[in-house]
Structure 1
């Protein structure tokens, strides 16, 4: 993964925490979003973990550029608890996860692992605020439940588990489906519901009552 934060102490600290997990490798560290984009181009990691606020070229700008030049790289935004407006913008930019800088080390590792395995992750401390304060924009002109009426029963099952943050592999185990089949269902759900990513799908699942708040 590539890690970007303009504060060296935070960058070093987060990298130290993440690399305690043998499955996580930090292949590059950046002080701003532009440098992060270049590192992603060079190394093609699975994950780019971006501080949401950086001088010159911030995490939002980097996320938007990565969506165009490296759509296979999942973006996780590193944020603080009082930045709802930034989280909304990051969601629109296609971020797959949101982690708090002050999170428990286990939460940081869990978030990165979840996104790397094809899931979405919202730090529990901000998940409910995102759902209640930012979810209305996803519902558009119809209620969430009306939108889900177009899904098959199997797709609703997949959406429910995706809303709980499960990866494709974990959903497959729960529903006795091949991982590739789950991936196909998720793609169909996103397309049919006009959603950009699994975080938006998770919010819609909460809105529709498929997942307890």
Structure 2
């Protein structure tokens, strides 16, 4: 009975660790504390790993299972540390075609500015917008980003900035060469799909980067 309970405890911990590692955000933007979070699973109260004998032959199924899981946690933690340290290098190597340009605040947001980073992907153009000095949208409103060209405006995403992050990921399904200008407007909820015309940020992709 005790061995069965031990196996259940180890299996529960394994599922917890697996769930942690399956989170997309763990690998999309690897957190610097991933190593500690993995090891925390190892140290959780009631975990069989608290009683693992680090050296010598395992004495039971419980110890064999626990030792195997301990090795897995240590390997994952080490890999996480390597990934965290190499994140900048990996980004540079796998996404060398990133293009950046600046957006400036208008009279509606004089202290605001932003930097847009463009990347071509199989799904469209990924646009990462990092804002500064732009307050969160007031209740009942939201921000909407647009690209503009000879054929008019194309919406590329909405956001509100009411949280702690100033990073927004937008998507364009049209070629930025044909829509070289970008704006961000304040939109009223329930106001329809058209632009309000209340621009808070605007910028253009330099010709050499389209």
- TM-score, normalisation: structure 1: 0.25
Larger Rg: 2
Higher strand share: 2
